[in-house]
């Protein structure tokens, strides 16, 4: 999209291929005329990125909305915690967005309580209810916001409700691309509230050892544990059962603590095997 708001086609200069730098959705680029009427612009330069997410593949994200259905599909809390760790390590503000609240208000409340007491912002929605416009305005204005989460949780439904693009248009685009209706297979960018909203294909798994995180990054996704820093006997305590650990002072759910320890074990094992 040009700064004036016009959508155009552009192809990257060959130099990016040599530098192994691929233009990514969310990149700010400088373009020039290409002379080719089919693809009239050439990407000349890519501005330095604030951050890059590998999965989903997007750049310069300010806020990541991590969507999770209260049921159908069953919430994958490991995936959620991994995304929270990634956000913290990349300085992206996460917002946990619970969808399909109409299917179980009890489950919604349970998840909202667990994660808001951990220190996260949790928003609930169901497609039959109006979205809170004031909240939407506050979250989106001037920001690049990505939407991530498992397939089928309602990411595309939410994007289309937010941007006002109706389902007919979605179906139409899908048909043109010969893809199943409602199945996002690629990253989609919508200009929204003076910023951008980026819908992404869902994913079912994310391997914590394969996404460039370090052992030290794991705790960043657990603000409840960061709060007890300095209270344990050993300064470098990892809260895995060390003597004098102040874990009982941390207000962390059993599930979150178990996931933290599991991820930490995986990362420690990996660092032993391959070095840092």
Ligand X SMILES: Nc1nc2c(ncn2[C@@H]2O[C@H](COP(=O)(O)OP(=O)(O)O)[C@@H](O)[C@H]2O)c(=O)[nH]1
Binding site for ligand X (CB under 6 A): 99-100, 102-103, 126-127, 151-157, 182, 184, 202
The region that residue 195 occupies, defined by phi over 0 for left and psi between -120 and 50 for alpha, beta otherwise, is: beta
**Of these partners, Zn ion, ligand X, Mg ion, none, which one is at the site of residue 232 (CB under 5 to 8 Å by kind)?**
Zn ion
**Of these partners, Mg ion, ligand X, Zn ion, none, which one is at the site of residue 99 (CB under 5 to 8 Å by kind)?**
ligand X
CB of 105 to ligand X, least distance (A): 12
Residues touching Zn ion, count (CB under 5 A): 4
User: How big is the CA angle at 144 (ends 22 and 189), to the nearest 5 degrees?
Assistant: 60
Phi first, then psi, for residue 238 (nearest 5°) are -105, 10
Is residue 239 involved in binding Zn ion (CB under 5 A)?
A: yes
CB within 8 A of 37, min separation 6: which ones?
none
CB of 152 to ligand X, least distance (A): 5
User: Of 66, 68, 198, 237, which lies in the binding site for Zn ion, with binding defined by CB under 5 A?
Assistant: 237
The nearer residue to ligand X, 160 or 256, going by C-beta atoms, is: 160
State how far the Cα of 215 lies from the Cα of 115, in Å rounded to an integer.
22
Please choose, from the candidates 142, 20, 147, 34, the residue with its C-alpha nearest in 3D space to the C-alpha of residue 83. 147
**Of these partners, ligand X, Zn ion, Mg ion, none, which one is at the site of residue 127 (CB under 5 to 8 Å by kind)?**
ligand X
The nearer residue to Zn ion, 113 or 249, going by C-beta atoms, is: 249
The nearer residue to Mg ion, 125 or 184, going by C-beta atoms, is: 184
State how far the Cα of 27 lies from the Cα of 103, in Å rounded to an integer.
37
The nearer residue to Zn ion, 160 or 239, going by C-beta atoms, is: 239
CB of 95 to Mg ion, least distance (A): 18
The nearer residue to ligand X, 68 or 139, going by C-beta atoms, is: 68
Strands, sheet with 144-148, edge to edge from the N-terminal-most edge strand: 121-124, 93-99, 63-69, 144-148, 195-199, 188-192
**Of these partners, Zn ion, Mg ion, ligand X, none, which one is at the site of residue 152 (CB under 5 to 8 Å by kind)?**
ligand X
The nearer residue to Zn ion, 165 or 215, going by C-beta atoms, is: 215
User: Do the Cβ atoms of 114 and 255 come closer than 8 Å?
Assistant: yes
Is residue 232 involved in binding Zn ion (CB under 5 A)?
A: yes
Binding site for Zn ion (CB under 5 A): 232, 237, 239, 245
């Amino acid at each position: 999209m040009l700064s004036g708001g016009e959508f155009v086609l552009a192809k990257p200069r060959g130099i990016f291929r040599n530098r192994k730098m691929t233009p990514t959705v969310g990149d700010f680029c400088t373009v020039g005329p290409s002379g080719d009427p089919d693809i009239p612009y050439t990407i000349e330069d890519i501005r330095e990125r604030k951050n890059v997410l590998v999965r989903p593949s997007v750049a310069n994200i300010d806020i990541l909305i991590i969507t999770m259905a209260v049921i159908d599909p069953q919430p994958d809390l490991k995936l959620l915690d991994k995304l929270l760790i990634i956000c913290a390590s990349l300085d992206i503000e996460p917002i946990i967005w619970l969808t399909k609240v109409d299917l179980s208000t009890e489950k919604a409340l349970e998840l909202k309580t667990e994660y808001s007491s951990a220190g996260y912002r949790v928003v609930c929605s169901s497609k039959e209810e109006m979205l809170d416009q004031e909240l939407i305005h506050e979250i989106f204005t001037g920001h690049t916001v990505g939407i991530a989460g498992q397939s089928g949780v309602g990411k595309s439904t939410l994007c289309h409700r937010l941007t006002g693009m109706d389902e007919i248009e979605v179906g139409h685009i899908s048909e043109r691309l010969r893809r199943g209706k409602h199945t996002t297979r690629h990253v989609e960018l919508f200009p929204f509230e003076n910023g951008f909203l980026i819908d992404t294909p869902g994913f079912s798994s994310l391997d914590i050892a394969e996404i460039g995180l370090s052992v030290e990054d794991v705790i960043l996704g657990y603000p409840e544990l960061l709060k007890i820093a300095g209270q344990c006997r050993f300064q470098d305590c990892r809260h895995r059962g060390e003597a004098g650990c102040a874990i009982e002072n941390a207000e962390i759910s059993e599930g979150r603590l178990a996931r933290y320890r599991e991820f930490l074990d995986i990362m420690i094992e990996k660092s032993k095997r391959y070095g840092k």
